[in-house]
Amino acid sequence: MLLIRCPYCEEERPELEFRNAGEAHIARSANIAGETDDDFEKFFFIRSNPKGIIYERWRHMHGCARFFNAVRDTVTDKFVMTYKAGEPKPSKLPGVAK
């Protein structure tokens, strides 16, 4: 089981308290009904599914219940960092090359 640091509670808590909420930083169009089929497919269905660093959303369901973002390596499942929702995608990752 993963240990996940909630950036709001500022504590590492067991994965059971959390729900994964999919890839992060996918912006929903303000005019969703006006999206082309291509753009809607990209927004709704297409995913990066990276082997390596992933940016993903989690929700601290059985804690503060808030959404936040995390950076994780999908090969080792180790978390690089977590940060609050609305904060920009980190450009520099601690302890990760390039």
Partner 1 sequence: MKKYSVFAIAREAMRGHKGWEEQWSSPEPKKEYDVIIVGAGGHGLATAYYLATVHGITNVAVLEKGWLGGGNTGRNTTIIRSNYLYDESAGIYDHALKLWDGLSQELNYNVMYSARGVMMLAHNVHDIQVLKRHVHANRLNGIDNEWLSPEQAKEFCPPLNTSKDARYPVVGAALQRRGGTARHDAVAWGYARGASARGVHIIQNCEVTGVKRAANGAVMGVDTTRGFIGAKKVGVVAAGHSSVIMNMAGVRMPLESYPLQALVSEPVKPVVPCVVMSNTVHAYISQSDKGELVIGAGTDQYVSYSQTGGLHILQHTLDAICEMFPIFTRMKMLRSWGGIVDVTPDRSPILAKTPVPGLYVNCGWGTGGFKATPGSGHVFAHTIAKDDPHPINAPFTIERFRTGRLIDEAAAAAVAH
Binding site for partner 1 (CB under 8 A): 1-2, 15-16, 19-20, 22-23, 37-38, 40-42, 44-51, 54, 56, 72, 74-77
Tokens of 32: 């969703």
Tell the smallest beta-carbon distance from residue 29 to partner 1 (Å).
16
Nearer to partner 1 (CB atom), residue 29 or residue 74: 74
Nearer to partner 1 (CB atom), residue 54 or residue 85: 54
Q: What is the C-alpha to C-alpha distance for residues 19 and 10, in angstroms, rounded to an integer?
A: 17
Query: What is the SS3 assignment for 25?
Result: coil
Tell the smallest beta-carbon distance from residue 20 to partner 1 (Å).
4
Helix (H) or strand (E) holding 76: none
Classify the phi-psi angles of 85: left when phi > 0, otherwise alpha if psi is within -120 to 50, otherwise beta.
beta
Tell the smallest beta-carbon distance from residue 88 to partner 1 (Å).
22
